[in-house]
C-alpha cells in the first residue's frame, strides 16, 4: 500500500526513539518476517497540539506485527524473529503479541547478552509515529528516518535459533522497510539460508524499493537478490512501475517474473480496483470489495498474510486473491493497524455481503493485445464475457466465496473456542 508523506510539524519527545525488528513463522506451516515496530497513531490535529507522550491508547503494534496478527487470525501459528527492547514499549508489544498467540524469537545468541548495552537506544523498541490527515493520507516517522545506519546495526549474523525457525518454516517474509532496521547483509543472509533449506520467500519492496534501487551497493545487491530469488513478489501497481519502468501492471508483473530465478507468483495490488496474480502459465484477477474506508494503514500487511495463507494451503489462485482482497478491505473498515487488523468474523461477513467492485471496463483496458496469448481467469458475479479476449475464463464469485468460507470455518471455530 503506497502512503503519501505529509508535511506536518512533528513534536519530538525528549527520549530517544526505541526500536524493534522481527520476523514471523507458522507451524506446521512456518512463516518468518523481518521488521516490527510499535506505532503511535495520531490524526494531524492531535499531533500538532500534542504536549504529552506515552498515551497508551494511541499505541499499537506495527510493521510486520500487522501481518503476523492477521496471519494468526487466519489460523496460522506465527513467530516473530528479531528484537524487542526491555522498556515499557517493548513490554507492551510483547503483551500484544502474546495475546494474539504469537511468539518472539530473539535475533541474538544467549552468550551475546552481556555484550549489548541494554541502556543504549540501539537496544530499545523502535517507535514509529503515524500521522493521518482528514483525507486519510499517511505520513510515517521514526528515528530510523534520521540515520544512515539501520536501527539494529549491531545485528550482524543469524543466530542458530533464527536459522532453526527459518528451516522449520514454509514461508520467510521480508519487506522493504526491513532495511531501515536490519543491515542489508543480514537480510541477504536470511534469504540465502531460506533458499538453501527450501523455505519459500515472500518479498514486498513497498515504497522503500525505489530508494533501495539507488541506495548503497549492499542495499542494491540485497534488493536484486530478493527480486530474483523470492518465490512470491508483492507490489502495488505504482511500485511495479517504479521497479520496471512499465506502466501496465500486467506487463510489469511479467517483466519481474521473467527476471526471477525462483519466482512463482508476482502479485500486483491495485487498491480499490482489486489485485492480479501472475504466474508463468497464466493470470488470475479479482476485483476488490466495496467498503466504507476508515483507514488504510495495515491493509497491505493484512493482504500479504492472506496471500501466505492461500499459498501454504495450496488454494486455487482466484480463491487466494479473493480472501486477500477481503482481509485487506475488512482491515480498511477499522482505524489503525496492529490489533485493529481484520478478524475472521469481519472477513467472512464481508464476503457474504458480496459487494464486489465489478468494473469490466477497467479490466478490459488492463489487458493489452499481448494478453491474448495468456490464460486469464477473473472472479466475476456474472458469467457474461464482456472482454474481447478468447482466453478469458470467468469464475463464479458465489462459488468461490462458498468454498473459501468453508475453508475458514475451522480457524473461526478455533478462534471462538479460545476467546
- Ramachandran bin of 19, using left for φ above 0, alpha for ψ from -120 to 50, beta for the remaining angles: beta
- Do residues 157 and 26 touch, judged by C-beta distance below 8 A? no
Q: Could you tell me if residue 372 is inside a domain?
A: yes
- Do residues 276 and 303 touch, judged by C-beta distance below 8 A? no
pLDDT for 63 equals 84
Cα separation of 53 and 58, whole Å?
10
- Do residues 342 and 334 touch, judged by C-beta distance below 8 A? yes
pLDDT for 109 equals 57
Q: Could you tell me if residue 300 is inside a domain?
A: yes
Cα separation of 25 and 42, whole Å?
30
Q: Residue for cell digits 472482454? A: 387
- Residues with Cβ within 8 Å of 127's Cβ and at least 6 positions away in sequence, in order, are 17, 18, 19, 37, 38, 39, 40, 89, 142, 143
Q: Could you tell me if residue 60 is inside a domain?
A: no
Q: Could you tell me if residue 259 is inside a domain?
A: no
Cα separation of 229 and 261, whole Å?
6
Cα separation of 52 and 72, whole Å?
34
Residue stretches of the chain with pLDDT short of 50: 1-29, 42-54
Cα separation of 333 and 136, whole Å?
12
Cα–Cα separations (whole angstroms), residue 363 to 206, 250, 315, 367:
24, 11, 23, 7
Rounded to two decimals, the pTM is 0.86
pLDDT for 411 equals 75
Output the nine-digit C-alpha cell for 419: 476467546
pLDDT for 112 equals 55
Q: Could you tell me if residue 348 is inside a domain?
A: yes
- Longest CA span, the chain: 67
Output the nine-digit C-alpha cell for 150: 539501520
pLDDT for 17 equals 28
Cα separation of 176 and 210, whole Å?
9
Q: Could you tell me if residue 364 is inside a domain?
A: yes
Q: Could you tell me if residue 296 is inside a domain?
A: yes
Cα 11–chain centre separation: 28
- Count of CB atoms within 10 A of residue 118's CB? 12
- Do residues 300 and 207 touch, judged by C-beta distance below 8 A? no
Q: Could you tell me if residue 17 is inside a domain?
A: no
Q: Residue for cell digits 496469448? A: 373
pLDDT for 29 equals 46
Cα separation of 98 and 301, whole Å?
19
- 286 is in which domain, residue-wise? 270-408
pLDDT for 122 equals 79
Number of folded domains that form the chain: 1
Amino acid at each position: 500500500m503506497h502512503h503519501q508523506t505529509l508535511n506536518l510539524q512533528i513534536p519530538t519527545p525528549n527520549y530517544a526513539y526505541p526500536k524493534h525488528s522481527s520476523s514471523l513463522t507458522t507451524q506446521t506451516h512456518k512463516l518468518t518476517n523481518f521488521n516490527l515496530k510499535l506505532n503511535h497513531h495520531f490524526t494531524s490535529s492531535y499531533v500538532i497540539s500534542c504536549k504529552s507522550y506515552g498515551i497508551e491508547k494511541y499505541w499499537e503494534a506495527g510493521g510486520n506485527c500487522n501481518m503476523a496478527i492477521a496471519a494468526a487470525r487466519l489460523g496460522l501459528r506465527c513467530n516473530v524473529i528479531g528484537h524487542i527492547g526491555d522498556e515499557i514499549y517493548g513490554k507492551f508489544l510483547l503483551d500484544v503479541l502474546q495475546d494474539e498467540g504469537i511468539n518472539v524469537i530473539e535475533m541474538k545468541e544467549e552468550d551475546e547478552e552481556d555484550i549489548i548495552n541494554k541502556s543504549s537506544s540501539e537496544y530499545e523498541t523502535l517507535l514509529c509515529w503515524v500521522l493521518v490527515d482528514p483525507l486519510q493520507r499517511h505520513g510515517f516517522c521514526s528515528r530510523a528516518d534520521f540515520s544512515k545506519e539501520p536501527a539494529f546495526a549491531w545485528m550482524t549474523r543469524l543466530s542458530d535459533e533464527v536459522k532453526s525457525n527459518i528451516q522449520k518454516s514454509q514461508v520467510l517474509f521480508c519487506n522493504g522497510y526491513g532495511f531501515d532496521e536490519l543491515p542489508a547483509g543480514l537480510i541477504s543472509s536470511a534469504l540465502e539460508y531460506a533458499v538453501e533449506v527450501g523455505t519459500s520467500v515472500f518479498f514486498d519492496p513497498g515504497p522503500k524499493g525505489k530508494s533501495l534501487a539507488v541506495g548503497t551497493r549492499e542495499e542494491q545487491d540485497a534488493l536484486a537478490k530478493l527480486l530474483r530469488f523470492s518465490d512470491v513478489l508483492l507490489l502495488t501497481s505504482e511500485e511495479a512501475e517504479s521497479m520496471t519502468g512499465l506502466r501496465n501492471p500486467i506487463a510489469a508483473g511479467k517483466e519481474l517474473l521473467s527476471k526471477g530465478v525462483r519466482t512463482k507468483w508476482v502479485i500486483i495490488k491495485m487498491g480499490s480496483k482489486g489485485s492480479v496474480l501472475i504466474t508463468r502459465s497464466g493470470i488470475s484477477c479479482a476485483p476488490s470489495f466495496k467498503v466504507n474506508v476508515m483507514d488504510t494503514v495495515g491493509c497491505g500487511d493484512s493482504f500479504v498474510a492472506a496471500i501466505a495463507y492461500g499459498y501454504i494451503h495450496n488454494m486455487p489462485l482466484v480463491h487466494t486473491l479473493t480472501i486477500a482482497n477481503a482481509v485487506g478491505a475488512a482491515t480498511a473498515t477499522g482505524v489503525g493497524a496492529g490489533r485493529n487488523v481484520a478478524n475472521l468474523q469481519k472477513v467472512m461477513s464481508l464476503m457474504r455481503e458480496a459487494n464486489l467492485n465489478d468494473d469490466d471496463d477497467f479490466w478490459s483496458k488492463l489487458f493489452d493485445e499481448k494478453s491474448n496469448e495468456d490464460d486469464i481467469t477473473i472472479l466475476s458475479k456474472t458469467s457474461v464475457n464482456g472482454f474481447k479476449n478468447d482466453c478469458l475464463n470467468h469464475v463464479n464469485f458465489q462459488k468461490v466465496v462458498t468454498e473459501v468460507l468453508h475453508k475458514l470455518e475451522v480457524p473461526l471455530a478455533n478462534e471462538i473456542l479460545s476467546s
